[in-house]
Amino acid sequence: MAKIDLYNFANRRALVRVDFNVPLDKSTFEITDDTRIRAAIPTIHKILSDGGSAILMSHCGRPKNGPDDRFSLRHIVSRVEELLGTKVHFSDQLFSESAYDKSSNLPQGEVLLLENLRFDPREKAGDTGFAKQLAKHGDVYVNDAFGTAHRAHTSTATIAKEFPTDKMFGYLIEKEIESVSRLMNSGQRPITAIVGGAKVSSKIKILTNLLTSVDALIIGGGMSYTFAKALGGSVGDSLVEDDYLETALEIVNKAKQLGVEILIPKDSLVADSFSEDAQTQVVETNAIESGWMGLDVGPVTIDEFHKTIVGSKTILWNGPLGVFEMPKFAAGTKAMAESIAEATDNGTFSLVGGGDSVAAVNQFGFAHKMSHVSTGGGAMLEFLEGKELPGLKAITG
Ligand code: AMP
């Protein structure tokens, strides 16, 4: 495996798997959030400034039956041009004579974007024949699509075999890998993970995997009520997964054995219905009466969590602390974003990824105050769970 920073792309055609799966307005096809395109720019710039050319390939949306203009990447060409400051050619075919003509005659310093990979059903099948057809476009393969690194698709995994030596990660994937390994292996202590979100069931693997790396584990959101109930509390009508009470206790016990501090919200903002117009009050999390449900953490908890966060040197945040989509229940999540921003400002390394916490930091305008906000929801979640990601394995071998 090569390293992008040390590689000289002069006179080479780099076939780059990017994640341009951007949201498009349904009627105008304008890009409503170009974060993913921006994230790929440093890699493309490096290739072009070395004197290479870049052939970009990506999927976009979920086309079901072959080519479908609603998911065409031609809608994004002008924005990619604008962000790169370079001419971007487009090929509406993936591997025809004319498509190969375009990539083989691409002048140095220029970019070709191929049509949506998922217009060909073999993309999701990890197909060797399709991989060979795509591989003809480039002399070197660069994977910078972290968002699809957990998929064993043709362009993210199978294709790497066609480039026995000239394959590497782009800067974005390198940064995602480095952020997680910093947290899991080499982070400065104390290391704190905040895991929130709706359900324990969807976060068990990540909780278990994190326990061996962190000093403190903050649990928030809907899942904290399963923990509170497992520990003997009354949680009223809060979200509880009764099947996971035992699992929650096991996590608490394992944490004790490992000397990991577990913080569960002491107080909650409870509501008499799951709505913005609900009546609310602050009560102890352990003493929520029937008819009331916890939808956010309370002020005592916000204070306690703040102290732990600003005393941490490495932080992972995965999942909101409350139903932040409704302003009435967003205070806990917003306060967490503020605390992490403050810690980061004081030199703490912070990684936000793998859940709705990314949406939350974006919504509250805190994304630029974090050390790294992951671009891959599902991919980051699986990475944090300790799973091997096919897109990464294909390069590292
Ligand atoms: P996840 O995708 O697992 O990170 O879960 C995110 C979702 O959890 C968000 O849509 C939140 O609204 C929801 N959530 C957070 N706190 C609570 C809570 N106390 N009760 C119910 N849902 C919650």
Sign for the pseudo-dihedral over CA of 378, 380, 381, 386: positive
**CATH match of 176-384 with 3.30.1330.10:** no
Give residue 354's pLDDT band: very low, low, confident or very high (50, 70, 90).
Answer: confident
DSSP code, position 75: G
Residues 83, 33 contacting (CB under 8 angstroms): no
Residues 349, 109 contacting (CB under 8 angstroms): no
Length of the chain: 397
| Statement: residue 43 has pLDDT above 90 | yes
| Statement: residue 377 has pLDDT above 90 | no
Overall average pLDDT of the 221-241 stretch: 98
pTM: 0.90
Question: Residue 267: in which H helix or E strand, if any?
Answer: strand 267-271
| Statement: residue 244 has pLDDT above 80 | yes
Q: What pLDDT is stored for residue 141 in this prediction? A: 98
Give residue 297's pLDDT band: very low, low, confident or very high (50, 70, 90).
Answer: very high
Nearest to 142 by CA among 45, 36, 6, 47: 47
| Statement: residue 187 has pLDDT above 90 | no
Cα(381) to ligand 1 centroid in Å equals 15
Atom of ligand 1 nearest to the CA of 324: 12
Q: What pLDDT is stored for residue 372 in this prediction? A: 93
Q: Active-site residue 355, yes or no? A: yes
Q: What pLDDT is stored for residue 148 in this prediction? A: 95
Nearest to 18 by CA among 85, 73, 70: 73
Q: What DSSP letter does each residue of 114-152 carry, written as one string? A: EPPGGGSGGGTTT-HHHHHHHHTT-SEEEE--GGGTTS-
Q: What DSSP letter does each residue of 186-243 carry, written as one string? A: IPPSSEEEEE-SS-STTTHHHHHHHHTT-SEEEE-STHHHHHHHHTT-EETTS---GG
Cα(195) to ligand 1 centroid in Å equals 11
Which residue has a Cα nearest atom 5 of ligand 1? Answer: 197
Overall average pLDDT of the 268-282 stretch: 98
Residues 333, 295 contacting (CB under 8 angstroms): no
Write the pLDDT tens digit of every residue in 50-78.
999 999 999 999 999 999 999 999 999 99
Domain boundaries, the chain: 4-169, 176-384
Write the pLDDT tens digit of every residue in 309-347.
999 999 999 999 999 999 999 999 999 999 999 999 999
Cα(322) to ligand 1 centroid in Å equals 6
Mutate to test the pocket of ligand 1, among 356, 362, 381 (most ligand atoms within 8 A of CB): 356
Q: What DSSP letter does each residue of 27-42 carry, written as one string? A: TT--BS--HHHHHHHH
CATH of 4-169, one of 3.40.50.1260, 3.30.413.10, 3.40.50.1980, 3.40.980.10: 3.40.50.1260
Cα(317) to ligand 1 centroid in Å equals 14
Q: What pLDDT is stored for residue 111 in this prediction? A: 98
Question: Residue 352: in which H helix or E strand, if any?
Answer: strand 349-352
Which residue has a Cα nearest atom 11 of ligand 1? Answer: 323
One fold for both 4-169 and 176-384? yes
| Statement: residue 81 has pLDDT above 90 | yes
Residues 385, 205 contacting (CB under 8 angstroms): yes
Question: Residue 99: in which H helix or E strand, if any?
Answer: helix 97-104
Question: What does the mean pLDDT of the chain come to?
Answer: 96
Q: Which of 199, 205, 254, 328 is catalytic?
A: 199
Q: Which of 36, 46, 182, 229 is catalytic?
A: 36
Q: What pLDDT is stored for residue 376 in this prediction? A: 85
Give the C-alpha distances (Å, rounded to integers) separating 236 from 261, 272, 284, 290.
Answer: 26, 10, 11, 4
Cα(330) to ligand 1 centroid in Å equals 11
Q: Active-site residue 36, yes or no? A: yes
| Statement: residue 355 has pLDDT above 80 | no
Which residues contact ligand 1 via a Cβ below 6 A?
A: 197-199, 202, 221-222, 239, 294-295, 319-320, 322-323, 325, 355-356
| Statement: residue 282 has pLDDT above 90 | yes
User: Is 324 in a helix, a strand, or coil?
Assistant: coil
Write the pLDDT tens digit of every residue in 201-218.
999 999 999 999 999 999
Q: Active-site residue 175, yes or no? A: no
